[in-house]
Amino acid sequence: MMIVDLVDEFDFKDRLVALGAPVQDCENISDIASMLSDWAADDQNRVAIQALYDELQNPETTVLPEIDVVLADILK
């Protein structure tokens, strides 16, 4: 039996908080995308977001498509 790690909106918020991003529990994905865009203006924060994105590319991890889009858009 294959076990897959699913990263949903709540997991995504938890991971961002662990990075130091100013995320609130009540924020939705579009609010988070806007905040992350501003937060990623700092090079250190951008590196942290890139590391998170790379971590989430693990084949054993399933990421909701909207989360993948948010991260990919920020890292363009």
What 3-state class would DSSP assign to 17? Answer: helix
Domain assignment of residue 12, given as a range: 5-74
Distance CA 36, CA 23 (A): 9
**Which structure tokens are listed for 18?**
């662990």
Count of other CB atoms within 10 angstroms of residue 58: 11
Taking the model in full, what pTM does it have? 0.88
List per-residue pLDDT tens for the chain, 76 residues long: 556 689 999 999 999 999 999 998 889 999 999 999 999 999 999 999 999 999 999 988 999 999 999 999 999 8
| Count of domains for the chain | 1
